[in-house]
Amino acid sequence: MSAAATPGTPAGALSTAPDAAEAAARAHALFTESFGYEPDGVWSAPGRVNIIGEHVDYQDGLCLPMAISHRCFAAAARTPTDRVRLRSAQDEQVLDIDARELAPGAVTGWPAYVAGVLWALGPHISGATTRGMDILIDGQVPLGAGLSSSAALECAAAEAIEALLSLGTTPLQRVQAAIRAETDFAGASTGGLDQAASVLSRSGHALLLDCRDFSTEPVPWDLAGQGLALLITDTRAEHSHVDGEYAARRADTERAAELLDVPTLREVDPADLEAQLARIEDETVRRRARHVVTEIQRVREVDALLASGSVREHVTALGELLNASHDSLRDDFEVTVPQLDLAVDAARAAGAHGARMTGGGFGGSIIALVEAEQAEPVAAAIAAAFAEQGLTAPGSFLALPSEGAGQDR
CB of 295 to ligand ADP, least distance (A): 20
By Cβ distance, which residue is nearest to Mg ion? Answer: 150
CB of 148 to Mg ion, least distance (A): 5
If you compute the radius of gyration of the chain from its CA atoms, what whole number of angstroms results? Answer: 21
* Strand ranges in 124-273 using DSSP code E only, listed in sequence order: 133-139, 205-210, 215-220, 228-234
Taking CB under 5 A as the criterion, the residue among 44, 69, 90, 150 binding Mg ion is: 150
253 φ, ψ (degrees, to nearest 5): -70, -35
Does 195 contact Mg ion by CB under 5 A?
Answer: no
Q: Which CB atom, from 50 or from 148, has the smaller least distance to Mg ion?
A: 148
How far apart are alpha carbons 58 and 160 in whole angstroms?
29
Ramachandran area for residue 196 (φ above 0: left; ψ -120 to 50: alpha; else beta): alpha
Residue 153, contacted partner among ligand ADP, Mg ion, none, CB below 5-8 A by kind: ligand ADP
In this structure, the strands spanning 354-358 and 205-210 are unpaired
What's the CA angle centered on 74, arms 139 and 46, to 5 degrees? 50
Does 144 contact ligand ADP by CB under 6 A?
Answer: yes
- Choose, from 134, 138, 194, 252, the residue flagged as catalytic: 194
Taking CB under 6 A as the criterion, the residue among 15, 18, 26, 91 binding ligand ADP is: 91
| Chain residues 149-188 in contact with ligand ADP, contact rule CB under 6 A | 149-150, 153, 188
| Chain residues 261-280 in contact with ligand ADP, contact rule CB under 6 A | none
How far apart are alpha carbons 254 and 267 in whole angstroms?
13
Residue 218, contacted partner among ligand ADP, Mg ion, none, CB below 5-8 A by kind: none
CB of 44 to Mg ion, least distance (A): 17
How far apart are alpha carbons 52 and 30 in whole angstroms?
37
Residue 144, contacted partner among Mg ion, ligand ADP, none, CB below 5-8 A by kind: ligand ADP
Compose the 245-274 pattern: x for residues touching Mg ion by CB under 5 A, - for all others. Answer: ------------------------------
Which residue stretch of 85-93, 206-214, 260-268, 308-316 sits at the interface with ligand ADP (rule: CB under 6 A)? 85-93
How far apart are alpha carbons 315 and 302 in whole angstroms?
10
Residue 106, contacted partner among Mg ion, ligand ADP, none, CB below 5-8 A by kind: none
Q: H-helix or E-strand containing 96? A: strand 91-98
How far apart are alpha carbons 197 and 175 in whole angstroms?
9
Does 18 contact ligand ADP by CB under 6 A?
Answer: no
Compose the 110-149 pattern: x for residues touching Mg ion by CB under 5 A, - for all others. Answer: --------------------------------------x-
Considering CB under 6 A, how many residues would be counted as binding ligand ADP?
18
DSSP state of 15: B
Pure H helices in 36-124: 111-120
194 is catalytic: yes
By Cβ distance, which residue is nearest to ligand ADP? Answer: 139
Does 72 contact ligand ADP by CB under 6 A?
Answer: yes
Sequence-separated (6 or more) residues with CB below 8 Å from residue 224: 372, 400
Pick the closest to residue 179 from 194, 166, 164 (CA basis): 194
Compose the 107-126 pattern: x for residues touching ligand ADP by CB under 6 A, - for all others. Answer: ---x--x-------------
78 φ, ψ (degrees, to nearest 5): -85, 145
> Which SS3 state, helix, strand or coil, does residue 53 take?
coil
Does 86 contact ligand ADP by CB under 6 A?
Answer: no
How far apart are alpha carbons 409 and 407 in whole angstroms?
6
Does 363 contact ligand ADP by CB under 6 A?
Answer: no
How far apart are alpha carbons 229 and 369 in whole angstroms?
6
Does 374 contact ligand ADP by CB under 6 A?
Answer: no
Does 137 contact ligand ADP by CB under 6 A?
Answer: yes
How far apart are alpha carbons 69 and 19 in whole angstroms?
9
State the catalytic residues.
Answer: 194
Residues near ligand ADP (CB under 6 A) are 72, 88, 90-91, 110, 113, 137, 139, 143-150, 153, 188
Residues near Mg ion (CB under 5 A) are 148, 150
